[in-house]
Amino acid sequence: MSLLHTINSAEDISLLNEEELFVLSSECRQFLIDTILKHGGHFAGNLGVVELTVALLKVFNPADDRIVWDVGHQSYAYKILTGRRENLKSIRSYGDIAGFPKRGENPADHFGTGHSSTAISAALGMAMASKLTGKYSQTHIAIVGDGALSGGMSFEALNNAAASKANLLIIVNDNQISIDAGTGAMNEHLAGIQPGEPNLFTALNLDYHGPIDGHNLPLLLENLQYLKSLQHPRVLHIKTTKGKGYAPAEAEQTKWHSTGKFVKIEARQTKETPKWHEVAGQCMLDIAKQHSHVAGITPAMPSGSGLVNCFQTYPERFFDTGIAEQHAVTFAAGMATNGIKPFLFIYSTFLQRGYDQVIHDIALQNLPVVICIDRAGLVGEDGPTHHGAFDIPMLRCIPGLTILAPATATELNAMMQQAVYAEHPIVIRYPKGPVPDLSWEFHTETILSHPGICLKKGEHTAVISTGNATLLSHEAFTLNNTPASHYHFPAIHPLPCGLLAHIKQQYSRIITVEDGCIAGGFGESVSQYLYQEGFTGKITHLGIPDAFITHGSNDILYDVCGYSPQKIAETIQTTFSK
């Protein structure tokens, strides 16, 4: 039996000698490589923190101390060594462990960290609570990596930390990369820090130690043992390599940030069905070629948003702001005041961080920023921290926004092309995953002024869907020969009132379907309008229920939420039988 298979808790690691810790690190890294390449999950970032994880669990005990991983996708080795080793093969699968730390999953998970730049704030809050309850010996550790130090919350927490006198240890896992290459002055500053010289941390009166080699296990153990003896705010700066121990991941760190199931190096060369973010990126490149006044912005997601070719072709017009969503939104607003047409590419759940800026800096000033919301709707295995459930209700209440949701690549292209000429804010939301090979007769050149289409004419009941939900509904109509009608609304807000008035006159029962939360969403806006106009029939809403949806494949989650094609078809059938 390998040494790794005898480890089920930090207590087991505390009994090992240094030679055994070397063996454990090697076995843990190989276990990660073998398992994640076969079953999928976050990859390169986890390989970079194996020695750190082993050292942390040798020196500290999660039963007594508090360990917070930031960003959370670097916590796989931690999960392996705290009793979840055999779950790694099904990580991110429905009903099994999450891909991020999750309170309630294991006693060692002290704080959920699906998004970045939260760990210092959370650990500092824990430390202050410990002081208030007399637990002065409890150490509170924030491991900040993969570019998370560039996020605004990290700066706010650092500003607060030194004055707190709390028992707080901040470990800066400096690998010079987030998902894409590191960017900004913070990245450059970390790269240039020399031992004994002043730096950002010393300027903030934090007790700084480092930088040291984060793969040197004896050096890590020595530093962590010493830092454990202190009880004031301190920083350990370690240098690591993302993808450490797997040559392809070390060479192409962005490419190997995360892997799908059954990955083979040669398989990555095969042509795959285009994904929504790739189509959006190609459209953006075409627009940039046509219009010299157009610029693109993303908060640390050039590859995830499909913009790598844009950055390479027009580096002077495409901007990576780093993990700084609030700044990215207002940065776009500033550009829009001065003759530039900015396209902001941002994930749905990341836009939540810039909500105030969308309201005050874009909408209130009616600035013509185009916000391309990627990963809208359910996103599968990344789970509740990344499901784009809330952007529709979050945005449709803001005056002046036009919110669009394409169902095909043709529609997405038309929306982005026409948004170039809009003189007010435009929001375009699209899902994660492959783009369907579907098309239908529609005047896409007038999509902003004629935002609705009847895909199937029937009687009695009308299904009204938008965006990705239109594809699910379209499939539902193929499952049985229902006489219901199907309407696709590429415009979520404002609604096509003329078409809704026609639907009100023609049907007594309506089913709305959306890949977003029902509460305050697209369907409720439809029913609000229809009931105000005197509709007396029945309206049923399908979408994400009033709950945080777990991780798992989208096919499973659509069914759990009640708007898989099969569930939509059953709802139509039930409506007709009443």
Q: Could you list the active site residues?
A: 242, 325, 353
- d(Cα 76, Cα 100) in Å, to the nearest integer? 8
DSSP state of 181: B
**Cβ proximity of 285 and 417 under 8 Å:** no
Q: How far apart are CA 345 and CA 297, in angstroms?
A: 6
The DSSP bridge pattern shows strands 370-374 and 426-429 to be parallel
**Alpha carbon separation from 444 to 104, 276, 430, 457, 488 (Å, rounded):** 48, 18, 16, 20, 13
Q: What angle do CA 259, 264, 269 make, to 5 degrees?
A: 90
List the one residue out of 544, 224, 551, 252 whose CA is nearest residue 382.
Answer: 551
Is residue 488 classed as helix, strand or coil in its secondary structure?
strand
- Residue spans of alpha helices (H) in 92-138: 119-132
β-strand pairing of 234-239 with 491-493: unpaired
The SS3 call for residue 566 is helix
Q: Report d(CA 112, CA 114) in Å as an integer.
A: 6
Distance of CA 56 to the CA centre of its chain: 27
CA distance 520 to 523: 8
Phi, psi of 573 (to 5 degrees): -60, -45
Rounded CA separation 327/337 (Å): 16
